[in-house]
Structure 1
Amino acid sequence: MEDENNTFDPDLIHAIFKLVWTRRALERERNDVADALDCEVGAGTSKKNRQTSANGKAIKLSSELLRIFITEAVQRAATIAEAEGASKIEATHLERILPQLLLDF
């Protein structure tokens, strides 16, 4: 098994997730203002009103998946760069491998 020091900090991943969840909740609120006024469901019972969260194992798994995804992206881009005779990875190398990488994951 991989050493835990070789993965992303789970607290960082959790903070990123919380930021995304908060932004999406605010966006939904703005888009559904009219619907919220018409809704007669009790507070806290609506799916929109519940706070999004993830347990520790899900955060650790997400961190590891992100690490594997980025490692694979760098390895594939390095292969393309080497085939072209480049000494470093450029954005164009990542652009070339991204479609297949996303299909593989």
Structure 2
Amino acid sequence: MESTSNPSPSFDPDLIHAIYKHVWRKKAAELEKNNGASDVGAGPSRKNVIPSGANANALKLSCELLRQFVVEAVQRAASIAEAEGATTIAPTHLERILPQLLLDF
């Protein structure tokens, strides 16, 4: 259920879709390059086809997951900064929380 009383900023689904498409194209080019060396003259097989679209709900979920990841990273880095007496989050604060954050997600 979405809450309309406190809308929080999120990532644009079109941006996330564009990022996915970029990665898919890059992966397809790598597959074509790797398969092209061994399968000269062979057409593309169905199992090597990279998707070009994404379900709207999957994009919304991806945006929300990315938003939650960023919020959690900022909160953890802010805790470290506060413990050190800093008033701003520095890149070193993010570097310190990143390993555990990646393990948690």
TM over 0.5: yes
- Contact 1:44–1:50, Cα closer than 8 Å, also in 2: no
**Structure 1 residues 67 and 89, CA, compared in 2 at 3 Å: closer, same or farther?**
same
1:53-68 mapped onto 2 (5 Å cutoff): 53-68=53-68
- The equivalent residue for 1:23 is 26
* Counterpart secondary structure, 1:62: helix
The aligned counterpart of 2:37 is: 34
Q: Which segments of 5 or more consecutive residues in structure 2 lack a partner in the other structure?
A: none
* 8 A Cα contact 1:14 1:59, kept in partner: yes
How many residues align? The count is 102
In 1, Cα distance between equivalents of 2:22 and 2:59: 14
- Normalising by structure 2, what TM-score? 0.83
State how far apart, in whole Å, the 2-side matches of 1:36 and 1:52 are: 23
For 1:45 and 1:33, the matched residues in 2 are separated by: 12
Q: Which amino acid aligns with 1:13?
A: I
CA deviation profile, 1:46-94 (whole Å, cap 9, x unmatched): 2113534321100000000000000000010010011111111111111
Q: Give the Cα separation in 1 of the matches to 2:94 and 2:3.
A: 25
1:11 alignment counterpart: 14
| Structure with more of its chain in helix, by fraction | 1
CA contact (8 A) 2:10 2:67 kept: yes
